[in-house]
Amino acid sequence: MTGNRERRPVIIDIAVCTYRRVELDQTLLSLAVLTVPAGTLVRIIVADNDVTPSARDRVEAMRSAVPFEIAYVHCPASNISIARNACLDHATGDFVAFIDDDETASEDWLSELLVMADTTGADAVLGPVRAVYPNIAPGWMRRGDFHSTSPVWVSGDIRTGYTCNALLRRNAPSLAGRRFDLALGRSGGEDTEFFTHMHKAGGRIAFAKDALVYEPVPNGRATLAWLTKRRFRMGQTHGRILLETSAGPGRWTAIALAAAKSGYCFAAAALFAALPVQRHRYGLRGIMHAGVVSGLFGVREIEQYGNLEKAPQ
């Protein structure tokens, strides 16, 4: 009888894009102890974005410590969009979960993402990324928590996202055939564009506040210079996306608005000169809006990854 048939298991591919990071071991070990709901099967896809398959031996050495199947994919080179697309191309499950190769997942990470997906029926679910600062990080940076990641709501709606903690429903119409832009694979912003266009195609994005992952902040990123460059690039990406739908007078209106916001934020930063957290928060926001102006003028995003992020294996 039909009613006696066993329910088909839910299959989840966990995608980990990697590029010369020794922290990959800790990422995989954190996935090894995930709480997996009954009736759920997990597979891990590791996409190695190096020119040579430098992560292959590391993955092979970790297989005995991880209770899930690990699919290793070599997808050169030095372009994160290539790696993300390789994960999507090799995924066969009902869902694809993305986590970065320098992050560690909380035990309930996957369960919390799945619960929110089931509860809301959303096409994508985002979780928070909590930054873990080194001792050399300035006090204002730790107090203001400038590196942690959470979604931004606009009129109660999440309109874009990120891949450092996300779950995608593979059969959602808004995700059919969707891939990450190769032109943005070295600058960053490819995930912002991906989720923005998914949302414009009717995809809904939800947030699972308890689906937590942790990300250590390297010394090289615990600087105002790195934050400045990142915020400007984020603004460039947003400006370029606005440019797609802003033509003629609409473009100049958007430029004037972004310039006004930038000026306001810089003025507020000066006003709060004696308060480092507020000063830097307004200053960085002003830099982001300046990046929006740059993007609206058609300036391509600065390259922040690839060669700049290289580290020895």
pLDDT in tens, 161-220: 999 999 999 999 999 999 999 999 988 899 999 999 999 999 999 999 999 999 999 999
Task: Report the pLDDT value the prediction gives residue 301, as an integer from 0 to 100.
Answer: 77
| Structure-token pair, residue 199 | 């949302």
The count of other CB atoms within 10 Å of the CB of residue 135 is 7
CATH of 8-220, one of 3.90.550.10, 3.40.50.10140, 3.40.1710.10, 3.40.50.300: 3.90.550.10
Mean pLDDT of 62-71: 98
- Omega before 77 within 30 of 0, i.e. cis: yes
**Any bridge partners for residue 124, and if so which?**
168, 205
Query: Can you give the pLDDT at residue 311?
Result: 39
Q: Which two tokens stand for residue 195?
A: 């989720």
Residue 2 — very low, low, confident or very high, per pLDDT cuts 50/70/90? very low
Helix (H, G, I), strand (E, B) or coil at 168: strand
Per-residue pLDDT, averaged over 97-126, amounts to 98
User: For position 309, what pLDDT does the model report?
Assistant: 45
d(CA 59, CA 28): 9
The one-letter code for the residue type at 146 is: F
> Phi first, then psi: what are they for 162, rounded to 5°?
-150, 165
Residue 227 and residue 146 in contact, taking contact as beta carbons nearer than 8 Å: yes
Alpha helices in the chain (DSSP H): 24-32, 56-62, 80-90, 109-120, 139-144, 190-200, 224-245, 249-271, 276-296
Residue 218: how many other CB atoms lie within 10 Å? 13
Residue ranges of domains in the chain: 8-220, 224-309
Q: What distance in Å separates the CA atoms of residue 30 and residue 64, rounded to the nearest whole number?
A: 14
In this predicted structure, what is the pLDDT of residue 308? 40
The pLDDT of residue 247 is 78
pLDDT at 312: 34
